[in-house]
Amino acid sequence: MNPTRRRAHLLAALAAAALVLTGCGSSAEPTPSPTSTPAAAPAQQWNPGDNATTSASAPTSSRPPAASLPPEAAGVDFTSADAVARAALAVWFGWNTNTDTGPGDAARRSTPLLTDRFAESLTATSAVSGPGGQWLEWAAERAAVTAQVDPSTASVPEQTPTEAYRVFEITQTARTPSGEVVGTRQVGANVQLRNATGDRWEVEKISER
């Protein structure tokens, strides 16, 4: 074989070998590149009460709760019209010129014993009848005033299951911080009471006589 034909056969053999190698490489499965799998997000916790709005509060009254009654009315029996009337008057006329700005402050302390309507009338205005001159006189002595409540002999309408009337005589006694009595005052009071629930009397009106 001449040199030219030998070279041609050699080139053909090399080309065939290259085709074989290329075919082998193309049949191999490509190795997938590793990918990271994102971690699952934690499940969101939800409780029915988490976003619940607070329920509407019950309507409030202008009266403080009975637990806030002053000592003069502590333990009052609300089933007794007499007891409620006496307690209300003891608070109403029990002034303290060292801490009160006037008789109206004492009257407003009695609101746990009053009907809602009467209590609201007291908290809506500062005008409560009272002896302005007497207050100023006792205030000059820094006096605290206690009220003794006694029944009156005046006649009143007959009591019904829902309405009662009472009349009392009140004696106010003013004492200085040292206990010295610096004055007394006598006053009569008419009291009207209502019982809307059957087991709780409340004062509807107080008026001086």
Residue-wise pLDDT tens digits, 156-197: 999 999 999 999 999 999 999 999 999 999 999 999 999 999
CA distance linking residue 148 with residue 49, whole number of Å? 54
> Which of 180, 174, 189, 182 minimizes the C-alpha distance to 95?
174
Residue 89: its pLDDT value, please? 98
Q: Over 50: is that where the pLDDT of 137 sits?
A: yes
Residue 64: its pLDDT value, please? 52
Extract long-range pairs of 177-183: CB within 8 Å, 24+ residues apart. Answer: 177/98, 177/142, 177/144, 182/138, 182/141, 182/143, 183/134, 183/137, 183/138, 183/141, 183/143
Residue 60: its pLDDT value, please? 38
Residue where the block lists tokens 């008419």: 190
Classify residue 37 as exposed, middle or buried by CB count within 10 Å of its CB (0-12, 13-18, 19+). exposed
Burial 58-86 (b: 16+ CB within 10 A, else e): eeeebbeeeeebeebbeebebeebbbbbb
Residue type, 183: G
Q: Over 80: is that where the pLDDT of 5 sits?
A: no
Look at the pTM and tell me if it is higher than 0.75.
Answer: no
Q: Over 60: is that where the pLDDT of 11 sits?
A: no
Residue 150: its pLDDT value, please? 98
Query: Using an 8 Å Cβ cutoff, are 96 and 104 in contact?
Result: no
Residue 47: its pLDDT value, please? 32
**Average pLDDT for residues 21-45, to the nearest whole number?**
44
pLDDT band at 103 (very low <50, low <70, confident <90, very high): very high
pLDDT band at 97 (very low <50, low <70, confident <90, very high): very high
Residue where the block lists tokens 């699952």: 40
Give the distance between the most distant pair of CA atoms in the chain: 161
Classify residue 19 as exposed, middle or buried by CB count within 10 Å of its CB (0-12, 13-18, 19+). exposed
Q: Over 60: is that where the pLDDT of 148 sits?
A: yes
CA distance linking residue 116 with residue 174, whole number of Å? 31
Residue-wise pLDDT tens digits, 51-91: 332 233 333 344 555 557 888 899 999 999 999 999 999 99
**Average pLDDT for residues 92-120, to the nearest whole number?**
95
